[in-house]
């Protein structure tokens, strides 16, 4: 089976892990945590990074840090991973959904304003499958209504909007280092920000609200969390960061090869890259339109029989029982989300994918497009 995505651990990972173990620093104190946080801030072009146990934890921490609380509302795209909406719920606030754009699959800026109420505190933007959101109109809305922008850049490490890296655009942003992400520590995440007060809040809430200036005194003024990443994970992650440009180039090369081989097959919509965007192509994603010979689900089944793994797109937030039960308004229409979640799939996208594998996958898809 050609997997959809697997880690690519071909650098200093083992060496740094060995060093972390030899030094006996295996908890969340240690030089790899500090070194990674410093170098990651530099890479993104922001002042502060704090590592967390996961991307979901990073989203929760970011929302806590900017003060999201019970009674608040946060705008969240209807087409995204569940973590975005869950993180808002963890704060006791309500996610309010906005449909996405048919081309970029990211939040549609022209639909945001009608969802803003007196309770709205922030807009969470999610760069989907490597393509950045159209930020300028979103900045305008955020300014007009005095809202904060939380960026979920978990799928867009290395992507750019108008020459600036995703994760450096909003007031606070989040990354995931799960095994299928651009760089990985197995599980892990990070919050990035330019604002010292948000950074301090992140460090405070992530460490059980121990006082920042007296970390060894057992006095806790608020309820906090343990979201600390270990030095062993950070050792793997630092080795991964050293190779990030290689990984991004590989994914972009693979996307170009896929595009080249699939572009003239009827009924397939290829991923887009707007003129203002630099798409990292974290996951190579396509839509199966009506004039293809098979439905998306039929194609996925056929691919599986040929040893090719794939994944369907996310299912809309308005379709989630968990969110309905939590009291989110799921009554509106989200036609683009519903449509692409039925039509979309992503193909094998590992950095370590081979050209022969891309050839094989595209040949198989072409055959299925012709033989029915």
Ligand X SMILES: *Cc1c(COP(=O)(O)O)cnc(C)c1O
- State the residues that interact with ligand X by CB under 6 A: 54-56, 80-81, 83-84, 126, 152, 154-155, 176, 178, 189
Beta carbon of residue 178, minimum distance to ligand X (angstroms, whole number): 4
In DSSP notation, 40-85 reads: HHHHHT-SEEEEES-HHHHHHHHHHHTT--TT-EEEEESSS-HHHH
Beta carbon of residue 24, minimum distance to ligand X (angstroms, whole number): 27
Which two structure tokens, joined as six digits, stand for 262?
Answer: 């699939």
Nearer to ligand X, 132 or 189 (CB): 189
Residue 180: exposure state from Cβ atoms within 10 A (0-12, 13-18, ≥19): middle
Segment (H or E) for 162: none
Which residues neighbour 34 within 8 Å (Cβ) at sequence distance 6 or greater?
Answer: none
Nearer to ligand X, 189 or 292 (CB): 189
Beta carbon of residue 174, minimum distance to ligand X (angstroms, whole number): 7
Beta carbon of residue 370, minimum distance to ligand X (angstroms, whole number): 34
CA distance 280 to 253: 10
Residue nearest to ligand X (CB): 55
Nearer to ligand X, 56 or 173 (CB): 56
* 359, 261 contact by CB (below 8 A): yes
* 88, 94 contact by CB (below 8 A): yes
Q: Is 330 helix (H, G, I), strand (E, B) or coil?
A: coil
Beta carbon of residue 67, minimum distance to ligand X (angstroms, whole number): 21
Nearer to ligand X, 83 or 120 (CB): 83
CA distance 332 to 114: 12
Beta bridge partners of 176: 189
Nearer to ligand X, 81 or 299 (CB): 81
Beta carbon of residue 179, minimum distance to ligand X (angstroms, whole number): 9
Q: Answer positive or negative: Cα dihedral of 178, 301, 285, 124.
A: negative
Nearer to ligand X, 125 or 362 (CB): 125
């Amino acid at each position: 089976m050609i997997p959809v995505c697997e880690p690519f651990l071909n650098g200093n990972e083992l060496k740094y892990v060995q060093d972390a173990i030899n030094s006996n620093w295996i908890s969340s104190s240690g030089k790899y945590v500090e070194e990674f946080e410093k170098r990651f801030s530099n890479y993104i072009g922001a002042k502060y990074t704090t590592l967390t146990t996961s991307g979901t934890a990073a989203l929760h921490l970011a929302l806590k840090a900017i003060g999201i609380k019970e009674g608040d509302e946060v705008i969240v795209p209807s087409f995204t991973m569940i973590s975005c909406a869950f993180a808002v719920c963890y704060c006791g606030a309500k996610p309010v959904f906005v449909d996405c754009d048919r081309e970029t699959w990211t939040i549609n800026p022209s639909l945001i304003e009608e969802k803003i109420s007196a309770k709205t505190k922030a807009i969470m933007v999610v760069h989907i499958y490597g393509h950045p959101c159209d930020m300028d109109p979103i900045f305008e809305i955020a300014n007009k209504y005095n809202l904060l922008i939380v960026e979920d850049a978990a799928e867009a490490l290395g992507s750019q909007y108008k020459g600036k890296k995703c994760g450096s655009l909003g007031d606070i942003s989040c990354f995931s280092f799960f095994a299928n992400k651009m760089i990985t520590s197995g599980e892990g995440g990070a919050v990035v920000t330019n604002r010292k007060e948000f950074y301090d809040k992140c460090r405070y809430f992530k460490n059980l609200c121990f006082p920042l200036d007296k970390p060894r005194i057992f006095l806790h003024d608020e309820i906090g969390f343990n979201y600390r990443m270990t030095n062993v994970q950070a050792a793997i992650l630092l080795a991964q960061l050293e190779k990030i440009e290689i990984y991004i180039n590989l994914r972009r090369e693979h996307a170009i090869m896929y595009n080249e081989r699939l572009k003239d097959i009827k009924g397939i919509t290829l991923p887009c890259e707007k003129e203002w965007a630099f798409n990292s192509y974290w996951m190579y994603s396509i839509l199966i339109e009506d004039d293809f010979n098979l439905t998306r689900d039929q194609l996925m089944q056929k691919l599986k029989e040929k040893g090719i793994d794939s994944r369907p797109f996310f299912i809309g937030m308005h379709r989630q029982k968990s969110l309905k039960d939590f009291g989110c308004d799921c009554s509106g229409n989200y036609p683009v989300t519903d449509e692409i979640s039925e039509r979309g799939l992503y193909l094998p996208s590992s950095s370590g994918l081979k050209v022969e594998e891309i050839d094989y996958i595209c040949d198989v898809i072409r055959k299925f497009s012709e033989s029915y």
